[in-house]
A and B are shown apart, each in its own frame.
Chain A
């Protein structure tokens, strides 16, 4: 799944880069990282709940 996620991230990075040409790259990177961290956390919580539930 790591490879798939890397490919997804690479494609998403390319799109982000394309859409934020005139914006500050560090800020954009911050946003991306924040978004992905939230997603990871949510996913982690969901997995944990599923494990406890089962």
Chain B
């Protein structure tokens, strides 16, 4: 009996061998079966599950397309200790859902899901050769790479032109993501390159400006407006610096000429702004010279009672001297103070602040003193007259009293 059962089982397994899926266990009429304890232990499946869509038809169909294994080393899912081993084997053989001679993916179906055996829940199926997940992953990576490349190019151009960022793009999400990433990178690099080139253009412009006044932009920088501007800025900066230096030189020359009483004519064939600086310096020199002579006249006013024409080189200096002499308003104050001091009959004493005007102070003090003496004399005369008059009146009244007394006795 046991032998019969063994023979029948052997025959059935031989006949229906092709219905066995990636892991051991046959499917039922619905195309599914319960996971065996062995497969569960290996993590290949769990509980009741379907294969190939799980229909009775597929089961029947699979029966009808039954084929025997092509190799004696044909493996099924129960031959592997883990699912990683299954994937490794699958990948090493270069199997795909179309090329699955060992029927690890389904049971002899030419088209299945491309996943050998039963992938554990949450398993990254993109590791599986030619799996839909892997194909999708590769496509996404390719899209992203393409987007990055194209975005970088556009971004670099935009960054170098220093235009506003515009990361909008059309395509798959991965393409757009790659495009934006590449654009940002390209924009930054382009912009950095632009700044470096601008700095270089500015420096070149500066070197040109240090040598010449005429602005000639080299062809190298003509292609880009920003570079042209930088070159021009550097050029103008150098020209400006050179001009400032020259202006200072001509201003000093004009100043010296002004001080030395030269003709005041600037050198020939120089820029108008240099001439202006020369004239400015000349005016300054003349102005200082004038101040000097005016000061001399001003100081002289402290030592003279009346103006005396000085012995100076030119009439212009004499004019300035006189102007300074007449502008001295302190003299009037000194004269008044000295006169009042004398008028009050005070003793002669020059205050420290008037020491430099001793002559004037002395003169006006004595004028005041003289006036004081005259007034004193007038006062005395008036007092004497008053006394005499008073005494006369008293005498007259005394006489009248005397007469009255005589008449009354």
Contact = CB atoms under 8 A, between A and B. Distances in A.
Interface of A: 8, 11-16, 19-20, 23, 28, 31-32, 35-36
A19 B406 CA distance: 11
A28 B400 contact: no
B403 to A, nearest CB: 5
Contacts of B400: 8, 11-12, 15
Interface in B358-409: 397, 400-401, 403-408
Contacts of A12: 400, 403-404, 407
Contacts of A20: 408
A34 to B, nearest CB: 8
24 contacts: A8-B403, A11-B397, A11-B400, A12-B400, A12-B403, A12-B404, A13-B404, A14-B404, A15-B400, A15-B401, A15-B405, A15-B408, A16-B408, A19-B404, A19-B405, A19-B408, A23-B408, A28-B408, A31-B407, A31-B408, A32-B407, A35-B406, A35-B407, A36-B407
Interface residues of chain A: helix, strand, loop or mixed (majority): helix
Interface footprint category on B: under 10
B397 A16 contact: no
A35 B397 CA distance: 18
Given A19-B404, A19-B408, A28-B407, 20 more contacts: A8-B400, A8-B403, A11-B397, A11-B400, A11-B404, A12-B403, A12-B407, A13-B404, A14-B404, A15-B400, A15-B401, A15-B404, A15-B405, A16-B404, A20-B408, A31-B407, A35-B403, A35-B406, A35-B407, A36-B407
A38 to B, nearest CB: 10
B323 to A, nearest CB: 70
A12 B404 CA distance: 5
Contacts of B403: 8, 12, 35
A12 B405 CA distance: 9
Contacts of B404: 11-16, 19
